[in-house]
């Protein structure tokens, strides 16, 4: 497993706000600062060279605002204190893979030459521009069809501005915009599923688990800065990159695919595809240089996508039940601990018991004050890293943990992860 990148601020890649926002304030919980507000939507478009003559383009809606790049949610790996616990209250246990998958989609018609041109032609009709609020005034992002009967997958943070019942519109290439309803949304995995009143859509298939390799060519499709049907290409730069993005109640934990394909605000929720037209990931976050934390953010070749297996599993649960379960081990972690690894609380603090009675950790012999050194051979750096590792697993999965007790001795335990809903 690759070590997590340290102290690289992360920015959500969408939604792309097109109106002013309240002044940003530092967050004591995450040690991160939201971006300053964007100017009003009447700001001019970025200056570009005139394009050659082209066929008429369909309506784009609200003009693009260059300064809108600065808006979004910011997080940092290892940065600050995260108010997150691992608990099993009200949770259930199930066998890994017990949830049925999405219906097998008919493969998209990608030409056998494996070219980006052929791929683009095949998948573009299935990638949507998602607008939140009237004419996208609350923001814009991307999404893609996962079932022919109108189900569309996107990021939670794309549709978050509509949490109070705001308007969401889905627009597929060559089709009129259509209103969408939220089937379900999961902030921790940053996945949301929408439903539109359309039939006969072309869903994009998810890649098989473990089929993604470092160095392979991938293509990102979406609507950066509201420019829908945009295609960029690159490679898989790294796998299993621990990413913590967002803040407050909308923090997500991703064992991410890293890519150098250009991903910008508005790409959020769009697919990252292999050359066979399979979705290998869902574009979700980008990194920015520490010196530019309060400057306009754009692609610097460090983009992150939620792996297809996680996205498909969460989407399936949201469609079937409206909610999704997270794997938990049943402990409360000491967020003040600064050493390597993640330490279980050594005593009861308030109402937080170090080891949840009756939970998986208690059954495995985890004790208060134990430091979780590794999970399935991956060394744990801190509490956030532990959360990323656990959230990448399935409910019912057995993990092997190396623990270091208060006496300094290490021991190995096996824990069957339970399921809980946040």
**Of these residues, 186, 190, 228, 382, which one is catalytic?**
190
**Of these residues, 126, 142, 185, 268, which one is catalytic?**
268
Residue 345's CB is within 10 A of a number of other CB atoms, namely: 21
Q: Which residues of 168-192 are buried (b: 16+ CB within 10 A; e: fewer)?
A: bbbbbeeeebeebebbbbbbbbbbb
At residue 280, the 3 state secondary structure works out as: strand
Task: Pick the closest to residue 11 from 100, 51, 71, 65 (CA basis).
Answer: 71
376 is catalytic: no
Residues in the chain: 422
The answer, yes or no, to whether the previous bond of 398 is cis (omega within 30 of 0) is: no
126 is catalytic: no
157 is catalytic: yes
At residue 98, the 3 state secondary structure works out as: coil
Q: Which residues pair with 139 in a beta bridge?
A: 132
**Of these residues, 131, 156, 157, 260, which one is catalytic?**
157
The encoded tokens of residue 316 equal: 């399936």
Contacts of 199 (CB under 8 A, 6+ apart): 148, 149, 150
Please give the angle made by the CA atoms of 99, 393 and 405, to the nearest 5 degrees: 140
| CA torsion, ordered 324, 330, 331, 333, to nearest 10 deg | -20
Q: What is the DSSP letter of 92?
A: B
Query: Would you please indicate which residues are annotated as catalytic (active-site) residues?
Result: 157, 190, 268
């Amino acid at each position: 497993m690759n070590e997590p990148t340290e102290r690289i601020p992360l920015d959500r890649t969408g939604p792309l706000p097109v109106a002013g926002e309240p002044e940003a304030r530092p967050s004591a919980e995450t040690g991160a600062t939201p971006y300053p507000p964007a100017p009003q939507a009447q700001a001019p478009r970025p200056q570009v060279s005139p394009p050659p003559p082209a066929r008429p383009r369909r309506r784009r809606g609200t003009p693009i605002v260059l300064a809108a790049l600065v808006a979004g949610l910011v997080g940092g790996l290892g940065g600050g204190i995260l108010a997150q616990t691992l608990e099993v209250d009200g949770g259930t246990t199930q066998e890994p893979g017990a949830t049925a998958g999405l219906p097998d989609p008919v493969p998209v018609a990608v030409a056998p030459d494996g070219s980006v041109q052929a791929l683009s032609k095949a998948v573009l009709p299935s990638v949507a521009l998602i607008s939140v609020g009237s004419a996208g005034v609350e923001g814009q992002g991307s999404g893609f069809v996962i079932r022919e009967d109108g189900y569309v997958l996107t990021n939670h943070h794309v549709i978050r501005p509509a949490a109070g019942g705001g308007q969401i519109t889905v627009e597929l290439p060559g089709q009129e915009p259509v209103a969408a309803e939220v089937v379900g949304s999961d902030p921790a995995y940053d996945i949301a599923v929408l439903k539109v009143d359309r039939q006969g859509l072309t869903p994009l298939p998810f890649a098989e688990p473990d089929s993604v390799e470092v160095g392979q060519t991938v293509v990102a499709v979406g609507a950066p800065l509201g420019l829908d049907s945009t295609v960029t290409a690159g490679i898989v730069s790294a796998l299993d990159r621990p990413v913590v993005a967002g803040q407050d109640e909308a923090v997500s934990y991703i064992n991410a695919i890293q890519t150098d394909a250009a991903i910008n605000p508005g790409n959020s929720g769009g697919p990252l595809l292999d050359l066979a037209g399979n979705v290998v990931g869902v574009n979700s976050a980008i990194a920015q240089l520490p010196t530019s934390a309060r400057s306009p953010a754009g692609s610097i070749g460090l983009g992150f996508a939620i792996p297809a297996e996680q996205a498909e599993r969460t989407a399936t649960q949201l469609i079937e039940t409206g909610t999704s379960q997270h794997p938990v081990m049943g402990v409360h972690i000491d967020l003040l601990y600064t050493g390597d690894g993640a330490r279980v609380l050594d005593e009861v603090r308030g109402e937080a018991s170090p080891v949840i009675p009756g939970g998986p950790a208690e059954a495995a012999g985890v004790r208060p004050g134990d430091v979780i050194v590794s999970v399935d051979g991956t060394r744990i750096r801190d509490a956030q890293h532990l959360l990323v590792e656990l959230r990448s697993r399935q409910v019912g999965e057995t993990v092997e943990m190396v623990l270091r007790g208060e006496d300094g001795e290490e021991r190995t335990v096996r824990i069957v992860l339970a399921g809980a809903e946040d």
